Amino acid sequence: MPVQDHLKLFSYWRSSAAYRVRIGLNLKGLPYEIVPVHLVRDGGQQHSPEFRQTNPQQLVPVLLHGKRTIRQSMAILEYLDETWPDAPLLPTSSRDRARARGLAQTIACDIHPLNNLRVLQYFENTWSVPQPERDEWVKHWIEEGFTALEAMLVEHPSTGSFCEGDVPSIADCCLVPQVYNARRFGVDITRFPTIARIEADCLKLPAFDSARPERQPDCPQPAASTA
């Protein structure tokens, strides 16, 4: 990649929105530099004056491409598709593109915002909602969303190995991180067999596997054994 095309991704290892973008970059085979932004340490590094200059919303991901700054994971994924059309993240027909976008937005716009870190922190810091109730909130809304998403996927003629056909798309970029979140909060994924099957097919691909949170440079390493 030419110097002017150097890509820099502000990311947090466990951010599902940043996880989406890592998958998209990997699917396209684009090299990129990870700039870790710890969303919890020091009160949240996203709130620092330096990062606010990069993103006034104080959120990750942010993609820097030369002098361009692109915010919001869905906008970043579409920007990647328009700038580097090889290995497209959107299908070729308008009908299939609409379905892929619809599935992706079901996750990114309806499921994910309700279990976002800043929502949970507001519950904790402003309303003093205990941890078990916060966890139950997240679990409830993921299960509600997955019930609808499973119905959109199961036995649909356009569902293939992946959400839309047999090539991973923007919908799969969103699905896999949300399943990761679901497991964190104790959701029984076996209740959603089509979602579980698609996630398994995705994670067989290196582009998805290398984007996993535990494979990120800012993922905390387990303490060394003193035995």
| pTM confidence score | 0.95
Residue finishing a domain among 87, 106, 123: 87
Residue finishing a domain among 70, 87, 104: 87
Q: Is 178 among the domain residues?
A: yes
Burial call 133-161: b when 16+ CB within 10 Å, e when fewer: ebeebbbebbbebbeebeebbeeeeebee
Opening angle at CA 108, ends 102 and 113, nearest 5: 140
pLDDT at res. 22: 98
Tokens of 225: 């054994």
The number of distinct structural domains making up the chain is 2
Same domain, residue pair 101 and 200: yes
Same domain, residue pair 198 and 98: yes
Q: Which domain holds residue 59?
A: 3-87
pLDDT at res. 5: 75
Same domain, residue pair 118 and 82: no
Query: Could you tell me which of 32, 99, 27, 86 has the C-alpha nearest to residue 61?
Result: 32
Same domain, residue pair 99 and 35: no
- Each of the 227 residues of the chain gets a pLDDT tens digit; together they read 544 479 999 999 999 999 999 999 999 999 999 999 999 999 999 999 999 999 999 999 999 999 999 999 999 999 999 999 999 999 999 999 999 999 999 999 999 999 999 999 999 999 999 999 999 999 999 999 999 999 999 989 999 999 999 999 999 999 999 999 999 999 999 999 999 999 999 999 999 999 999 999 999 987 654 54
